[in-house]
Amino acid sequence: MSLWDKLLNFFTALFRRPFSNNILVRPIFAAIIIGVVCSIVGVFMVLRGLIFFGNGIAHSAFAGGALGLLLGINILYPVSIFALITALGIGYIREKTKLSNETSIGILFALTMALGIIFISLYNNYNVSVSSLLFGSLSSVNLEELLLTLGFAIVIVITMVIMGKWLYFSTFDEELAQANGIPTRLISYIFLVIVALTVIMGIRVVGIILIMAFVVTPAAAAYQYTYDIKKMVVYSVIISFFCAIAAFPISYVLEISASATIVVLLTIVFIFSMAFSPKRRKHSIPEIDSHLCNVCEEAIGDSYCMYCEMEDTEESPETATQDHEHVDEHHHVHDHSQHGGHHHE
């Protein structure tokens, strides 16, 4: 059968079968849902430097899944427990011991991987269940798994919308946000839980090995085009959406894994974005305007900043001094962001 005939069969099977028993529609919807949610969360993970943290959560979920197989129960329960405990544990260790994220993650990463290996060795039956835990089973998603994925996605997106500006601001500059009364500690812990839920949502469908590619790669590609967090989220979602759709006819024709094909397409988009990034041609530092903070506007996409919004009154010498200090502060923030800062490179 030629490639053209296989492609024709794919679209015939896609549009002529009812949704209830269509083996193609459910995986496509699942891939789109997971891709979109992961791409949104991934933007903030990239900007906050939490990629290694996501890997730690994914491998702790592996230990939970292995325990579920050993006990013969639904793996979703132990996976959720392990992922959430690891997420909160990393935050607690970092806060109480003042260790870096990498150190606390490394400790729990090694522990959960060791537990996973022990559970698998006790299970002593490396079968399809273990393989799907590692590599997922996107092509065999059933209606229950699709609805469960959709439920996780709704919870994650609603939580991030509610956090809204606080999440943007604390991601841009955590110390500045804390000085403005934003509960950065609470935001940090909530975001760790969001990352854990994202891993839990995708691990059954795309597997431990590939889930972080869904999170990191589209966000990294979007980062090549803009410093504006809102635009970055939009670009990341668009990249994930189209890669998820394009991967299925390719994987069907070539008879290869759909989730792996999505990851390959995402990586190709990232390489293209990196090669043609407009940031490579921009080296000038934007001027600070007394009525509009460009640094904050680029970071959170707003036309004002919580620092910059002042009363339109006549300027006293004291006010002039405060304004001067404010501009100096933002010059410092911007210089830091342009020369090796945590969120701007």
Per-residue pLDDT tens digits for 265-318: 999 999 999 998 887 665 544 444 444 455 555 555 544 454 454 444 444 444
pLDDT at residue 319 above 50?
no
pLDDT of residue 179: 83
Least confident of 45-49, 148-152, 326-330: 326-330
pLDDT, average across residues 162-190: 83
What does pLDDT average to over the chain? 77
What's the CA gap between 341 and 345, in Å, rounded?
Answer: 6
pLDDT confidence of residue 304: 46
The reported pLDDT for the residue numbered 40 is 93
Give the pLDDT of residue 126.
56
Which has the minimum average pLDDT: 29-43, 130-144, 215-229?
Answer: 130-144
In this prediction, residue 101 carries a pLDDT of 67
Mean pLDDT score, 248-261: 87
pLDDT at residue 220, rounded to an integer: 92
**pLDDT class for 1, splitting at 50, 70, 90?**
low
Rounded CA separation 6/63 (Å): 39
The predicted model scores a pTM of: 0.74
Q: Considering only 13-17, 61-65, 94-98, 131-135, which range has the smallest mean pLDDT?
A: 13-17
* Residue that wins the pLDDT comparison between 150 and 299: 150
Share of the chain above pLDDT 70, in %: 75
pLDDT of amino acid 26: 85
Largest CA distance in the chain: 82
In this predicted structure, the answer to whether residue 219 has a pLDDT above a threshold of 90 is yes
Q: How confident is the model at residue 223 (pLDDT cuts 50, 70, 90)?
A: very high
pLDDT at 288: 41
Residue 342: what pLDDT?
46
What confidence tens digit (pLDDT) does each residue in 235-244 have? Answer: 999 999 999 9
pLDDT value at residue 290: 43
Taking 90 as the threshold, does the pLDDT of residue 63 lie above it? no
Mean pLDDT of 190-215: 87
Amino acid, res. 149: T
SS3 readout for the chain: CCHHHHHHHHHHHHHHCCHHHCCCHHHHHHHHHHHHHHHHHHHHHHHHCCHHHHHHHHHHHHHHHHHHHHHCCCCHHHHHHHHHHHHHHHHHHHHHHCCCHHHHHHHHHHHHHHHHHHHHHHHCCCCHHHHHHHHCCHHHCCHHHHHHHHHHHHHHHHHHHHHHHHHHHHHHCHHHHHHCCCCHHHHHHHHHHHHHHHHHHHHHHHHHHHHHHHHHHHHHHHHCCCCCHHHHHHHHHHHHHHHHHHHHHHHHHHCCCHHHHHHHHHHHHHHHHHHCCHHHHCCCCCCCECCECHHHHHHHCCCCCCCCCCCCCCCCHHHHHHHHHHHHHHHHHHHHHHCCCCCCC
Residue 343: what pLDDT?
A: 44
Which CATH number does 21-279 carry?
Answer: 1.10.3470.10
Residue bearing the bigger pLDDT, 93 or 248: 248
What pLDDT score does 263 carry? 92
pLDDT tens column, 93-132: 777 776 666 777 778 878 888 888 888 888 766 565 667 7
